[in-house]
Structure 1
Amino acid sequence: MMQVWKLEDQRQTLVLASEDGRMPSVVYWGGKLPKGEDLAVLAQATRLDVTSGMLDRSPDLSICPEVSQSFSGQPGLAIRSEDGTPLRPRFALESVDNTDDTLTVTARDAALGLTYRAVFTLVHSTSVIEARSEIGSLSPIWLDWLAAPVFPAPQLADRMIDFSGRWCGEFQRVDTPWTPGARLRDNRTGRTGHEYFPAIILPVGDARNTAGEVVAFHYGWSGGHRMVAEELPDGRRQIQFGHAPGTHLATGTSFASATVFAARSEDGMNGCAVAFQRHLRDHVVRWPHPDRPRPVHYNCWEAIYFDHKLDELKEIAERAAALGAERFVLDDGWFGRRDDDTSSLGDWDIDARKYPDGLDPLVSHVKSLGMTFGIWFEPEMVNPDSDLYRAHPDWALGDADQITGRQQLVLDMSNPAVVEYLYRKIAAVLSVYDVDYIKWDHNRVLPYPDAAQAEGTWELLERLGRDFPEVEIESCSSGGGRIDFGILGRTQRVWLSDSNDAIERLRIQHEAALFLPMAVTGSHVGPRHCHTSGRVIDIHVRAWVAAQRHMGFEMDPRELTDDEAVVLKDVTAWWKTNRNWTIAADILRLDSVDPEVTAELQRAADGSRFIVFVGQTGTSAQVLPRPLRLSGLEVDAMYKVALLDSVGNNPASRKGVTLSTAPVVLSGRFLMQQGLSLPKCFPQSIWVVEGERV
């Protein structure tokens, strides 16, 4: 007997089917099916043939592939009894609850006392599917692996795209061809990680940013994860995501995966990107001030590091405010006896040597300048040289003689006493001072992966969010080491990278836009002489790259020349004038055959206007710029297109193009099929083009 269920919106249909009461499988995920489609016939049409050398029936590639069904690929569940004996459940379908937007599958193995549940939710406004799984047991079990509900991968995809990275080099794209067997990616660092962003993109055929069929997945978990992209000997393909195996370090009677977010598009990778951007911004993030414009940020880290002097900080705040900053963030060095990174993490009391009157003088001064005040914490860490560690060495995770990272150890966030201590210390600061922002850092990997660490951190963030709902929190982890939809359900901003090198940022921001909207993506104008790359970059480029996302400054404003200050004030003023529409804009990555060009278009929610950023990172092979095709416009609409005149001098252009001297009015079809001709420019330059529908 075949049973079928579906979730559907205007863009897609997801069909699950169960035969003879077995665990259901995803038998169709594609464009919206016609009204008269017989789903039982559809499911029967997906049955596989049998040939020599095979079992007499192909084991189901179900939402939780089972070893007990002789499934030879990666199973969806690996568990052991309390004494360590492997268990091989044989689940029988118990019930399926199917509403317009949710499909809940419950299956049971009565003999082993196990219950499996999977929940699929289709969010109609974004067309993103959220899927998660749970396992319950009547007696304690060890969980080695639990996949979120398993999706099939497209048969016509010939490659997969995922992301590696490092400190100051996040979101490095990796293209891998599909081959028989599994691409297995394990992140065992205990945090989301620079190394392996928990996502995969599967283009079908020659799909690219702006065209073609694409499916994409993201696993919203802030601890280590595993990804499996597997092609079975019979040609079927599966995608699995779950917590890194073996990271549940104790037995239990209930476990759950994090949510896997799934999107599909027939408009290229941008279709999935827009779905993820909107979904994160509108359905995942809890905004403390949803109606307040995103404030221009100033962070003092690269201006002073640990050298806190009140008079200098006041002067820096004055200059930042004059440039247009609306929030001042006091970074590392305000607590304990914190003169470098070797001491005081965990001692979250104000350093009376640096601030004899507490933080009131600085906070009052910042607020008198019209800015709000933010502050840095690294709650999950402790220095061996700290009062906290001397009092509670047992609160540190791992062995006493472990290798430290940045001179620090990790606190055991599964310990309720640790979480309570951290809550009291943070709450004490938030209760005394008018703080509207926390930069929450996490500067080392765990000594060993432990899912309870992320769970404890989530619990602490949720408690602070309930008790201080006006405070915004940024997830920073040596830059982009903890970016995922799970942490962003509890925070409102990410620090994308510790690199303030605008040329490197162009690439990092470009790739991250496949998942992240402008609203959550911090991007700052760094020092003229970049502290992380040594490169000297023009102020026009630094300012406009920061203006592509949630804009801020992170340098000593006293270093600016008068001309540089004018440029930065102008760009900041542009950002403020336009942020009401750019905050809700879709970021569309533009295709370019020139590897030295990185370009994107930000399109207003109503399609009435757009802004294009075109970064020239290096020297092109050809003499002149290739025409740049735009995307996401109405083919029959006319657009007034203008090149902003504040992008700096351009001695490489001797004569210029039409846009160099005046705006032009062109059709959406022309802009998307022929493209814009831009002036010649030197490497490390940027063009900014505004468009408005007329």
Structure 2
Amino acid sequence: MEWRIDAGGQTLALATSGGIPEVIYWGATLPAAEDLSQLAAAGLNDITGGMLDRLPTLSLSPEPGRAFQGQPGHLLAEADGTPLNPAFSFTHADEAAGHLALHVRGDGIILSHHITAQPTGVLTMKTTLTADRPIRVHWLAAPVLPAPQTGQMIDVHGKWTREFHLTHTNWSPGIRLREARTGRSGHEHPPYLILAEAGCSNAQGTAAALHYAWSGGHRMVAEELPDGRRQIQFGAPIGAETEAGTHFETADLIAAHSTTGLNGIAAAFQHDIRDRVVQWPNSTRPRPVHYNCWEAVYFRHSLPELAEIATRAAALGAERFVLDDGWFGGQRNGRDDDTTSLGDWTMDRRKWPEGLHPLIAHIHSLGMTFGLWFEPEMVNPDSDLFRAHPDWMLGPRDQTTGRHQMVLDLANPAVRDNLFAQVSAILTEYPIDYIKWDHNRLLPVVDTAQTHGIYDLLSRLRTAHPQVEIESCASGGGRIDAGILAHTHRVWLSDSNDALERLRMQHDAALFLPAAITGSHVGPRHCHTSGRELSMSFRAWVAAQRHIGFEMDLRELTEAEALTLARVTAWWKANRDWTMSGTIHRLDAADPAVTAEIQIAQDGNRFVLFAGQAETSAQILPRPLALTALDPEARYRVALLNPEDAPRQSRGPNALKSAPLTLSGRALMTRGLLLPVAWPATMWVVEGRKLDD
């Protein structure tokens, strides 16, 4: 028995001979007339020495009781801990337009694999398990997929202030195991994997990719079996299901396939996140320019000072003012540092005797909306909430604190009710259109119930306050995945506002994240996380690559810096209608010192090239920069927006410094553009418009 399901440019074909079905093909779209029985027959392996007399199936959930030599797709036990190895048999398939569910049964357990073709061109896959009695699930993988026989694995690694860096790993016999056990997606191992075949680059070649849509940590197994077959598994960490039960399910595993290089993967994931996963309060509303006060005042809140800063922010083009940490407190303490008050979401009347009404009224008079910082999942031991409910803490009483805080047990309905009431009361009293929702501590235990709890709390708040936008921040980029983005609308990619760090982070994160949800702020002249000093032009243009904002004491700006920031912001606002709905394509720069991308409008009629000079080049002059994804037969007018950023060493007749050029898409994609000489920490910005012939 065989099936196929198609989405975008990919086909997934499956077959069974009576047991758990297996994937017989995952790749570029097959012809409509493809004979799936012949495809299944073509995948039958030989038998040779050193093997069993029958090759165990690499199924959607490889069975530990069927002599499978690799990592099994499930590890089950009776409620008392006795190992449980059902022999599953296929029962039936449910087929509907764009959806396939395959069911097997064994020993009172039904294992089902659900596959859906999404209109955005990705496939989503999920495993569910239902038992006729309470059992324990130590491990349950989403539908298991084969991996290609050539190329590399590319996954993501990072740390605080250095998120989203790519790790390239060659295949070898055995397992590459990645397990994120911090209770959140994590800076260290976000739940992404790209399988790039040999010869794949940004702009050409074949690749497949997976994104596990879960915010509570994950386990990934990439295994090459002794017989040479390769499998990929994703699921929650081992032991994350802490209670016996009768129903379990994985999160969605999102799958994309590309024959146009890594950019095909990027386009699929960007569109899927922006157009399917994120549930916008108002999808027609332009993305507003942010101002966040954190790196201006930290915990030092003063109405006159913040009002002055808000006035300057509005003059520079900001449209939303976000008041960060430090506005709240309990009966005993206010929030003057990070050691107290988390859990006490009431106004600190020492700082705000009239509440936030005077500040918000001033912000509204400037034409801006208002946003507010929360960290509801956490509690300080020095807080009224903790003193009243020490039993609400997650994990052992003698655990080590993190940033002077503990985690609240969101599996407890009373905890969720309390947090909902506190946060909702603030959102009801004040006209707030945005929450910066932070998460600054690793969890002391791994438990899927905690993640289900935060999803439930966010859903309740979204229902009660449907026009409020929410940003996911977790020590910066510690919780960025499609699971949290189904409940939020923006991510804070990193706590680093260093534009050089951001240039590379944003470049790599574009493989998975669209510009519209990726927050990027213009930071202080002297960066608070790296100590570097960078020009305003570079800082502003790096922020303009994504959802732009400012995060600095605006009173430090020189007149020239303010003019530059206002000009870049005005450009971003004038173009956001198409840049925030367009597609980011990474460029294969011939010069490794250059990090470059092109953002193309949905209709293909406009683009903007961002070429960041990250360091000194090895050669004297810039190498040509070939663009991608343009119409080869069309003619484009290209213009350099910031020729004034050329250094004094740029003395030659580079054409773009003085006038626009008109070139074909083919010329731009083959010979490419020659940009002026640049110092490190320079961003060249080139606009392109397709001409009518």
TM-score normalized by the length of structure 1 = 0.98
1:233 to 226, 231, 241: 226
Tell me if 1:246 matches 2:239: yes
Partner of 1:153: 147
Measure how far apart 1:33 and its partner are. Answer: 1.9
1:98 counterpart SS class: strand
Measure how far apart 1:645 and its partner are. Answer: 2.8
Measure how far apart 1:172 and its partner are. Answer: 1.5
2:336 to 339, 342, 367: 339
Q: Bigger CA drift: 246-255 or 207-216?
A: 246-255
Partner of 1:314: 307
2:65 counterpart SS class: helix
Give runs of aligned pairs for residues 132-147 of structure 1, distance below 5 A: 132-147=126-141
User: Does the C-alpha gap of structure 1 residues 38 and 326 become closer, same or farther in structure 2, counting only changes over 3 Å?
Assistant: same
Distance in 2 between the 1:77 and 1:34 partners?
A: 34
Partner of 1:516: 513
1:281 to 264, 274, 278: 274
Distance in 2 between the 1:68 and 1:397 partners?
A: 36
Contact 2:191 2:212 in 1 (8 A): yes
Distance in 2 between the 1:505 and 1:13 partners?
A: 36
Identical counterparts, % of pairs: 58
Distance in 1 between the 2:158 and 2:653 partners?
A: 39
Distance in 1 between the 2:680 and 2:147 partners?
A: 40
Measure how far apart 1:397 and its partner are. Answer: 1.0
Partner deviation per Cα, 1:194-217 (whole Å, 9 max, x = no partner): 000111111111101000000010
User: Does the C-alpha gap of structure 1 residues 647 and 104 become closer, same or farther in structure 2, counting only changes over 3 Å?
Assistant: farther
1:409 to 391, 406, 414: 406
Partner of 2:124: 130
2:194 to 201, 205, 219: 201
Measure how far apart 1:670 and its partner are. Answer: 0.8
* Letter in structure 1 aligned against 2:100: L
Name the count of aligned residue pairs.
687
Distance in 2 between the 1:583 and 1:505 partners?
A: 18
Distance in 1 between the 2:456 and 2:102 partners?
A: 27
Give runs of aligned pairs for residues 614-625 of structure 1, distance below 5 A: 614-625=611-622
1:68 counterpart SS class: coil
Partner of 2:385: 388
Partner of 1:186: 179
Tell me if 1:555 matches 2:552: yes
Tell me if 1:114 matches 2:109: yes
Tell me if 1:580 matches 2:577: yes
Contact 2:8 2:122 in 1 (8 A): no
Tell me if 1:432 matches 2:426: no
Distance in 2 between the 1:568 and 1:129 partners?
A: 41
Distance in 2 between the 1:435 and 1:35 partners?
A: 52
Contact 2:646 2:678 in 1 (8 A): no
Distance in 2 between the 1:256 and 1:353 partners?
A: 48
Distance in 1 between the 2:437 and 2:316 partners?
A: 25
Tell me if 1:444 matches 2:444: no
Contact 2:601 2:607 in 1 (8 A): yes
Distance in 2 between the 1:647 and 1:492 partners?
A: 36
Please, what is the CA RMSD of the aligned residues?
A: 0.9
Give runs of aligned pairs for residues 650-661 of structure 1, distance below 5 A: 650-661=647-658
Measure how far apart 1:277 and its partner are. Answer: 0.2
Measure how far apart 1:97 and its partner are. Answer: 1.6
1:484 to 481, 486, 491: 481
Tell me if 1:29 matches 2:23: no
Give runs of aligned pairs for residues 600-639 of structure 1, distance below 5 A: 600-639=597-636
1:567 to 561, 564, 568: 564
Partner deviation per Cα, 1:235-261 (whole Å, 9 max, x = no partner): 111111000110111111111100111
Contact 1:8 1:100 in 2 (8 A): no
Partner of 2:681: 684
Contact 2:114 2:125 in 1 (8 A): yes
Partner of 1:300: 293
2:482 counterpart SS class: coil
Measure how far apart 1:647 and its partner are. Answer: 5.6
1:580 counterpart SS class: helix
Measure how far apart 1:649 and its partner are. Answer: 4.6
1:291 to 281, 284, 293: 284
Gaps of 5+ in 1: none
* Letter in structure 2 aligned against 1:34: P
Measure how far apart 1:467 and its partner are. Answer: 1.0
* Letter in structure 2 aligned against 1:100: A
Contact 1:651 1:681 in 2 (8 A): no
Gaps of 5+ in 2: none
* Letter in structure 1 aligned against 2:12: L
* Letter in structure 2 aligned against 1:154: P
2:645 counterpart SS class: coil
Partner of 1:598: 595
Segments of 4+ moved more than 6 angstroms? none
Partner of 2:157: 164
Give runs of aligned pairs for residues 326-365 of structure 1, distance below 5 A: 326-336=319-329, 337-365=334-362
Distance in 1 between the 2:244 and 2:252 partners?
A: 22
Give runs of aligned pairs for residues 16-55 of structure 1, distance below 5 A: 16-19=14-17, 21-55=18-52
Measure how far apart 1:100 and its partner are. Answer: 3.0
* Letter in structure 2 aligned against 1:144: H
Tell me if 1:6 matches 2:1: no
Contact 2:320 2:368 in 1 (8 A): yes
Distance in 2 between the 1:443 and 1:647 partners?
A: 41
Partner of 2:364: 367
1:455 counterpart SS class: helix
2:255 counterpart SS class: strand
Measure how far apart 1:9 and its partner are. Answer: 4.5
1:665 counterpart SS class: strand
1:67 counterpart SS class: coil
TM-score normalized by the length of structure 2 = 0.98
Distance in 2 between the 1:35 and 1:472 partners?
A: 43
Contact 2:590 2:625 in 1 (8 A): no
1:133 counterpart SS class: strand
Distance in 2 between the 1:311 and 1:259 partners?
A: 48
Measure how far apart 1:156 and its partner are. Answer: 2.2
* Letter in structure 2 aligned against 1:13: T
2:561 counterpart SS class: helix
Contact 1:567 1:646 in 2 (8 A): no
Contact 1:384 1:409 in 2 (8 A): yes
Contact 1:540 1:647 in 2 (8 A): no
